[in-house]
Structure 1
Amino acid sequence: MLENTDLGKLLVRLAVGGLLLFHGISKLFNGIGFIETLLASHNLPTQLAWAVYIGEIIAPLMVILGYQTRIGALLIFLNMVVAIVLAHTHELLALSSNGGLALELQLFFLINAAAVFFMGPGRYKLKN
């Protein structure tokens, strides 16, 4: 039987980092005004919105490249906790129109970031 856990770790890293990176790039082009509005509605400083670039661009690149992977995964995990608390608490147990969980995407990033944190980068990575 073929077993290559390092390749599996790479695939998980590419999935979580690569897919989240699209969200960060979108925010680069479209701005973070909606995040600033969310923060203001929770009486938090709007300057914290800039941290989304760390959680959705820098951290995914760290995970994809396997550079300080556990730190990158932790940053993604924290980014998703904040996103769920600020924008999605009303959807915690809700179903989407197609019958899945409303928070499928957020939970995908959250749980897989935790998995990467605990598994580590594997063999296929940049040298630290």
Structure 2
Amino acid sequence: MLDNADLGKLIVRLTLGGLLLFHGVDKLLDGTGFIERELASHGLPAFLAYGVFIGELIAPLMVILGYQTRIGALLIVINMVVAIALVHAHQLIALGRNGGLVLELQYFYLLSALALIFLGPGKYKLKN
């Protein structure tokens, strides 16, 4: 018999990890030039841009697989805080043309990852 709470955790893990993974694959294919320029504009070294591969490739895979989920989720939280601070700080509560927040997607990733830190992976996961 399926446990609804564990099934819900699995759905959150697959959704968060799966959707964020697309962003990581995009950066893997197209490079980190945009992030490097943003870092440079804030006086930070461009090599830090490669950290995005941890936050948008490795961490989502950890979350999807349920392997060290809380650590993976924490890495996603850090990734999103950095992304919001570097690129979106001026849009924290800005509304889009359709009435929703401009940063809905960023907040979804950030808060879903934060929820997983507290919830854990559930029982449908790789054995640690």
TM-score scaled by length of structure 1: 0.97
Aligned partner of 1:77 in structure 2 is: 77
2:48 maps to a residue whose letter is L
Number of equivalent positions: 127
TM-score scaled by length of structure 2: 0.97
C-alpha distance after superposition, 1:73-92 (max 9, x if no partner): 00000000000000001111
Aligned partner of 2:127 in structure 1 is: 127
Aligned partner of 1:34 in structure 2 is: 34
- Aligned Cα root-mean-square deviation (Å): 1.0
Task: Supply the distance in 2 between the matched residues of 1:23 and 1:98 (Cα, whole angstroms).
Answer: 24
* Dislocated runs of 4+, deviation >3 Å: none
Task: Supply the distance in 2 between the matched residues of 1:121 and 1:111 (Cα, whole angstroms).
Answer: 15
1:107 shift after superposition: 0.1
What secondary structure does 1:88 align onto? Answer: helix
Aligned partner of 1:91 in structure 2 is: 91
Task: Supply the distance in 2 between the matched residues of 1:7 and 1:110 (Cα, whole angstroms).
Answer: 21
Q: Percent identity?
A: 70
Task: Supply the distance in 1 between the matched residues of 2:74 and 2:49 (Cα, whole angstroms).
Answer: 18
1:117 shift after superposition: 0.7
User: Is 1:63 equivalent to 2:63 in the alignment?
Assistant: yes
2:119 maps to a residue whose letter is M
C-alpha distance after superposition, 1:87-111 (max 9, x if no partner): 0011111111221100000000000
User: Is 1:113 equivalent to 2:113 in the alignment?
Assistant: yes
1:3 shift after superposition: 5.7
Aligned partner of 2:47 in structure 1 is: 47
Aligned partner of 1:103 in structure 2 is: 103
2:126 maps to a residue whose letter is L
Task: Supply the distance in 2 between the matched residues of 1:74 and 1:8 (Cα, whole angstroms).
Answer: 19
1:69 shift after superposition: 0.4
Which blocks of at least 5 consecutive residues in structure 1 are unaligned? none
